Structure 1
Amino acid sequence: MNSGLVRQADSDGARHFNYTSPRRFAPPVTIRFVPHFEALLLVSFGGPEQREDVIPFLENVLRGRNVPRERMLEVAEHYYHFDGRSPINDQNRQLLAALREVVSLPIYWGNRNWHPLLAGTIRQMRDDGIRRAVAFTTSAFGSYSGCRQYLENIQRARAEVGEDAPEIVKIPPFSTHPLFIEAMADRVRTALAESPGVPVIFTAHSVPVSMAQTSPYVQELEAACQKVAEAAGAPDWNLVYQSRSGPPTQPWLGPDICDYLRERRSDCVIAPIGFLSDHMEVLYDLGTEARAVCDELGLRMVRAGTVGTHPALVRMIAELIEQVPRACAAACCPAPRRPTAPPATR
């Protein structure tokens, strides 16, 4: 039987959800009216959806940064390789659809760098009479770019809307939440079924070492990888990084996935634990570049899926907003002083 959610209604209007997968990811959950919030806001990075969007999108990402245009055009080619369409918006639409099946609140969606942009979404929330909302960001790990910057984006968008903008509480990173771990472990188990006994290589977006030093990014990644590996029955694993975009003189986290593949020279499962959905980094940096290295070396590579809309992840989000979440601390994941980096892709 395919995994999914079966919805049942009680006489009091509460809704219960049971997983129909042969593997029970969690006990049934009751989703009730959430009295402390009036809406859920899904916040993500955003990405282009056609070739004409690519350059304007990258210009949004790079606004205020001293990045050579040649580097921007180089990154643009990654998008053109897929006809200018990033998968991230479609994956967010799928997540929205899944959440609307289990969450009783109105759900809105706003992006950092491409439509629907965050300020426009918050303006619509205000016009709809929303006064207090909870924000879930599509980033599981604590770092400046994956946590604090989203908080700043929300604050900036609220300021743009004005004093009557709704109050928004951002849910903190959730990297070791048991349901996130189970969702990722299930993706790894599925990949290992195609190539049993091979090592698992977890990947995450590289960041400058100076950024890692001001956040729990590396520690959270290592803890999550350990938990996923244990749950998936994968004792042979390692954590590596991908998608570095900084100048050669600036230290970034390593080793790089392609360098590691050349050094280890082993069949493998690659599990992009650092990405909630299939960003351009997952498609291009793993599906194109890392696969090319494996093909060159005669290695078999199986890529595990991102958690995406896995039922356990959807359940996790519902639980987080049903509870009264602790908001991100005002001083969380501060921005390091670092040279300007070329653009990341999504």
Structure 2
Amino acid sequence: MPDMFPGTSLRPYDAVLLVSFGGPEGPDDVLPFLRRVADGRAIPESRLEEVSRHYLAFGGVSPINSRNRALVSSLRAELDRRGVDTPIVWGNRNWHPFLDEALLGLAGRGARRILMLPTSAYACYSGCRQYREDVEGALRRIGWTPPPVVERTRVYFDSPGFLEANVQAIVESFLRLASAGADLDRIDLALVTHSIPLAMERGSGEPDRPETRYTAQHEALARVLVPEAARRLGLRRIRYGLVFCSRSGPPHAPWLEPDVNEYLGRLAASGAQAVCCAPIGFVSDHMEVVYDLDVEAKATADGLGLSYDRAATAGTHPAFVRSLADLMLERAAVARGEALDAPPASITDIGPWHEECRPGACLEREGDVRVEAGRGRTACTSSGPAA
């Protein structure tokens, strides 16, 4: 796949800040990490203890931090290939290295304008606005005055590289199932993403554009991804469904459904023989992938007599890394006031996201009213803490 954006400079940005969720790196980290994630969300301690056992089954180590180290390394190599020497720093919202630590390092380097790249491909409160709010909170805590400008890349679920990485992963998963004895044309596809509360779903995407909501973003990707995977496999069609995992809120609050395990039950009842679970909602392996899909969903499938395989996440797939570099260079060109030679790349029918999210986008719940913070702009455009 060729470079979609041929720029060679990230000016005016002094640094790239990769912002991720974070995860524990040992057994003693697990409950403190989970309590930090759940702070203010009315999640019972019993639920946190239950989830802690998922981590402890893997030695108390989430895969996400090692995946982020690999992503930083791959992005560095890709930017070096293009002659871009802008530093890349990594900070987490919920565990070490915390955003505060990363931003203190950038303050020491004298950074004044920072490009944020979240490890979340989709636009909703927890995947977009909350990242910006957490950066603003970190800037306030460390007392960086005057604050820098922090701007993010646009969301990238619709980038060519994210599509390519997921298509290849699905094709490879189907072929593994076929080599194990499944009929290629009778394999079902479950496209898996993280569930969110229905209230957050209604506040997601751009205001007054229901076709940009969180689920609609996934469906737009699926309309391109599934036919392309079928074409490469020589199939007329693939039966698929969009399903959800990792519900974590209070029991009384409605979240997006169906749960992946419920969906597997439906497939078995319909006479399905084999299923590929493709975690298109995740950029890389999280505990939600390696436990919820590799352990829990696989056990459900085994109990139902379904052949099961989990497709890889985009991770450090070369095409995905190139698309992220393209997005960073594109954002820098816009920040410099340059006209783009071509429209921003997007493989879906809802078009590319705005470089700066519109006010009122990605609310925690529909109708939520928030103070527009930082340099007169919202946490969903460019950020610095409010004066």
The two structures have a TM-score, normalised by structure 2, of 0.78
Match of 1:132 in 2: 113
CA-based RMSD of the aligned residues comes to: 1.8
Matching residue of 1:249: 252
Residue in structure 2 matched with residue 117 of structure 1 by the alignment? 98
Taking the aligned partners of 1:31 and 1:91, their CA distance within structure 2 comes to: 27
**Counterpart of 2:132?**
151
For these two proteins, the number of residue pairs brought into alignment is 314
Q: Does 1:69 align with 2:42?
A: no
Q: Distance in 2 between matches of 1:100 and 1:295?
A: 41
1:202 matched to which residue of 2? 191
**TM-fit CA distance, 1:262:** 1.0
Q: Give CA-to-partner distance per residue, 1:221-275, whole Å, 9 cap, x none.
A: 1111221112211532111111112344322111111011111112111100001
CA contact (8 A) 1:39 1:134 kept: yes
Gaps of 5+ in 2: 178-183, 205-212, 231-236, 335-354, 368-387
Local SS of the residue matching 1:315 = helix
Q: 1:237 aligns with which of 231, 234, 240?
A: 240
> In the alignment, what sits opposite 1:225?
222
**AA partner of residue 236 (structure 1):** R
Query: Structure 2: how far apart are the matches of 1:297 and 1:62?
Result: 33
Does structure 1 residue 43 correspond to structure 2 residue 19? yes
- Could you tell me how far apart the structure 2 residues matched to 1:336 and 1:144 are? 8
Aligned equivalents of 2:366, 2:357: Cα separation in 1: 21
Corresponding residue of 1:322: 329
Code of the aligned partner of 2:11:
P
Which amino acid in the other structure matches residue 272 of structure 1?
P
1:292 aligns with 2:292: no
Q: Identify which of 193, 214, 217 aligns with 2:175.
A: 193
Residue type at the aligned position of 1:310:
H
Match of 1:3 in 2: none
**Secondary structure of the equivalent of 1:101?**
helix
Distance 2:115 2:283 in 1: 19
Structure 1 segments, 4+ long, off by >6 Å, are none
Residue matched to 1:141: 122
Identity of matched residues, % = 40
Distance (Å, rounded) in 2 between the aligned partners of 1:102 and 1:168: 22
Instruction: Specify every segment of 5 or more residues in structure 1 that has no aligned partner in the other structure, as ranges.
Output: 1-24, 339-346
Q: Choose from 330, 349, 364 the match for 1:335.
A: 364
Structure 1, residues 271-329: CA drift from partner, whole Å, max 9, x if none? 00001110001011111111001111121111100000011110011101111252333
Could you report, residue by residue, the CA deviation over 1:88-108 in whole angstroms, capped at 9, with x for unpaired residues?
000000000101101221000
CA distance in 2, matches of 1:300, 1:110: 39
Contact 1:111–1:117 under 8 Å retained in 2: yes
Question: How many angstroms apart in 2 are the aligned matches of 1:213 and 1:176?
Answer: 20
Residue 288 of structure 2 is matched in structure 1 by 281
Match of residue 177, structure 1, among 159, 165, 170: 159
Cα-to-partner distance string for 1:40-89 (whole Å, 9 max, x where unaligned): 11000000010011111112112233332212111111111111000000
Cα distance change on mapping 1:193 and 1:92 into 2, 3 Å: same
Amino acid at match of 1:184: N
How many Å separate the matches in 2 of 1:113 and 1:247? 20
- Deviation, structure 1 residue 181: 1.1
Q: CA deviation at 1:190?
A: 1.3
Aligned position for 2:315: 308
Q: Provide the secondary structure at the position in 1 that maps to 2:291.
A: helix
For 1:60 and 1:303, locate their aligned partners in 2 and report how far apart those are by CA, in whole Å.
Answer: 29
2:322 partner SS: helix
SS of 2:158 mapped into structure 1: coil
C-alpha contact 1:205 1:241 (8 A) present in aligned 2: yes
Q: Tell me the CA shift for residue 337 of structure 1.
A: 7.5
Aligned AA for 2:173?
A
Local SS of the residue matching 1:99? helix
Letter of the aligned partner of 1:106 in structure 2? P
Amino acid at match of 1:238: G
Q: Who is 1:93 aligned against? A: 69
Task: Tell me whether 268-277 or 248-257 shows the greater mean CA deviation.
Answer: 248-257
What amino acid sits opposite 1:318 in the alignment? Answer: A
